[in-house]
């Protein structure tokens, strides 16, 4: 640890030295992030002409919201990202960091993101293989770590960071509420666990405690979607981190940026409104469509359509598994050869 960082830490928070490890007052050891960054593609130009009926230039002074979305390949991925994009399309001055949990860059996602016109960065951030078969696995952590690394490497110390999963539902008001976060803002999240909600308890305009059905020793028992962080504030903490510890990601991240109760800015009418919902999409396994590959050419739309579905991770074609694909006309099943050859 460099002298400079040590001096900083001594000045800014209480630490002690044990066995050569620097221990923060909350007895957790943090190391600086050191992720390797893989950018698949990026377009930082906002090519939306109008936002909420006003020209884009009207919003030029607003702090940027860095909206970090972990995502991963499954049948629902493209529809989830499409739906989320349609929310984000309304939001000026937003940089969408989409971090995909897989080993290769998905070109389909680049094309999709480019079409929306929202400034975006598409990162590839696979979960380290040793965690892959753990139950529970640290979902979305490699993704968010990559995004934190991106913010650090690009020295982005202005604006606001928000972790927005690909399957949640966001009220447009949320964005106005978090945009002026000074240090850390918090608000309730709907549809969490047993109580259907998780969020701060506020008295006289101050956060004093938390309502959440799973405490498990967490000092900050909040959902990932229940807080936003000012980047200038975060930049003061060289040890910002999100460890691979399922269930404790939010708590440990917030500890790594030295959060104190009296810093928290309650949002959403003093934490009485729900501006984000922890919706979950029912997941199903890949569709299988049995068709002879000789019919997957340009004699019909099916070649191109099924190729698209394959690229989106929705359905696959097979020549020999299961029942032949049903193709019908006038209510009657027809042999493939009659319709397709
Ligand atoms: C719960 C919390 O409500 C989330 O706020 C939190 O991010 C998440 O746990 C977590 O474990 O950190 P939950 O709905 O149970 O969310 O989890 P998912 O929505 O399945 O996953 C969270 C995020 O990680 C999603 O954006 C998802 O696309 C991504 N993810 C999930 C991956 O990148 N890889 C995976 O293998 C699974
Ligand atoms: Mn989810």
* pLDDT tens digits along 45-60: 999 999 999 999 999 9
pLDDT digits (tens, 9 = 90+) for 85-107: 999 999 999 999 999 999 999 99
The answer to whether position 55 is within a domain reads: yes
CB 165 near ligand 1, within 6 Å: yes
Whether residue 324 sits in one domain with residue 245: no
Ligand 1, residues 123, 165, 244, 278: which to mutate, most atoms within 8 A of Cβ?
A: 165
pLDDT digits (tens, 9 = 90+) for 317-338: 999 998 999 999 999 999 999 9
**Does the pLDDT value for residue 9 go beyond 80?**
no
The answer to whether position 100 is within a domain reads: yes
The answer to whether position 133 is within a domain reads: yes
The answer to whether position 240 is within a domain reads: yes
Whether residue 326 sits in one domain with residue 226: no
Whether residue 136 sits in one domain with residue 54: yes
Whether residue 295 sits in one domain with residue 262: no
User: CA 102, CA 193: separation in Å to the nearest integer?
Assistant: 28
CB 77 near ligand 1, within 6 Å: no
Please give the positions annotated as active site: 250
Q: Whose CA is nearest to atom 25 of ligand 1?
A: 165
Core vs surface per residue 169-207: b (16+ CB within 10 A) or e: bbbeebbebbbebebbbbbbbbbbeeeebbbbebeeeeb
Whether residue 301 sits in one domain with residue 170: no
pLDDT digits (tens, 9 = 90+) for 140-161: 999 999 999 999 999 999 999 9
Q: Whose CA is nearest to atom 6 of ligand 1?
A: 224
Of 240, 257, 277, the one marking the end of a domain is 277
Of 225, 251, 277, the one marking the end of a domain is 277
Residue 209 belongs to domain spanning:
3-277
Whether residue 328 sits in one domain with residue 268: no
Count up the domains in the chain and report the number. Answer: 2
Q: Whose CA is nearest to atom 28 of ligand 1?
A: 71
Both tokens of 4, joined, read 């400079």
**Does the pLDDT value for residue 271 go beyond 90?**
yes
Whether residue 241 sits in one domain with residue 294: no
CB 225 near ligand 1, within 6 Å: yes
**For residue 30, what pLDDT is reported?**
82
Q: Whose CA is nearest to atom 35 of ligand 1?
A: 139
Of 250, 277, 304, the one marking the end of a domain is 277
Q: Of all residues in the chain, what percent are helix, strand and coil, respectively (each to 5)?
A: 30, 25, 45
CB 72 near ligand 1, within 6 Å: yes
Whether residue 315 sits in one domain with residue 189: no
Range with lowest mean pLDDT among 48-52, 227-231, 300-304? 48-52
Residue 258 host element (H or E): none
pTM: 0.91
Whether residue 320 sits in one domain with residue 186: no
Q: How far is the CA of 280 from the centre of ligand 1 (A)?
A: 10
The answer to whether position 282 is within a domain reads: no
Q: Is the separation of the CB atoms in 164 and 84 below 8 Å?
A: yes
CB 139 near ligand 1, within 6 Å: yes
Q: Is the separation of the CB atoms in 284 and 75 below 8 Å?
A: yes
The answer to whether position 305 is within a domain reads: yes
pLDDT digits (tens, 9 = 90+) for 18-41: 443 334 445 577 888 999 999 999
pLDDT digits (tens, 9 = 90+) for 172-211: 999 999 999 999 999 999 999 999 999 999 999 999 999 9
């Amino acid at each position: 640890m460099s002298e400079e960082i040590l001096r900083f830490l001594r000045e800014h928070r209480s630490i002690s030295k044990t066995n050569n490890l620097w221990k923060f007052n909350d007895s957790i050891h943090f190391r600086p992030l050191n992720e390797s960054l893989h950018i698949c593609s990026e377009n930082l130009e906002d090519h939306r002409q109008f936002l909420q009926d006003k020209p884009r230039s009207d919003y030029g002074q607003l702090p940027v919201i860095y909206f970090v979305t972990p995502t991963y390949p499954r049948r629902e991925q493209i529809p989830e990202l499409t739906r989320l994009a349609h929310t984000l399309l309304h939001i000026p001055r937003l940089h969408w960091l989409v971090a995909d949990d897989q080993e290769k860059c998905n070109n389909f996602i680049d094309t999709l993101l480019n079409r929306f016109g929202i400034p975006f960065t598409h990162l590839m951030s696979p979960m380290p293989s040793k965690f892959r078969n753990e139950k529970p696995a640290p979902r979305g952590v490699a993704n968010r770590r990559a995004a934190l690394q991106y913010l650090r490497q690009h020295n982005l110390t202005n604006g606001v960071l928000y972790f927005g999963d690909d399957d949640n539902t966001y009220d447009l008001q949320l964005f106005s509420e978090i945009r002026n976060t000074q240090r850390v803002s918090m608000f309730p999240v709907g549809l969490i666990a047993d109580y259907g909600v998780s969020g701060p308890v506020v008295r006289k305009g101050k956060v004093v405690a938390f309502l959440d059905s799973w405490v498990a020793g967490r000092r900050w028992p909040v959902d990932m979607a229940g807080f936003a962080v000012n980047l200038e504030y975060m930049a003061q903490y060289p040890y910002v981190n999100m460890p691979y510890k399922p269930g404790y990601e939010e708590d440990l991240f917030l500890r790594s940026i030295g959060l104190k109760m009296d810093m928290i800015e309650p949002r959403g009418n003093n934490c009485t409104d729900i501006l984000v919902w922890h919706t979950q999409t029912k997941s199903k396994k890949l569709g299988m469509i049995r068709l002879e590959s000789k019919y997957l050419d340009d004699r019909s739309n099916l070649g191109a359509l099924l190729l698209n579905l394959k690229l989106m991770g929705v359905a696959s074609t097979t020549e020999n598994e299961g029942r032949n694909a049903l193709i019908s006309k006038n209510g009657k099943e027809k042999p493939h050869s009659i319709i397709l050859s």
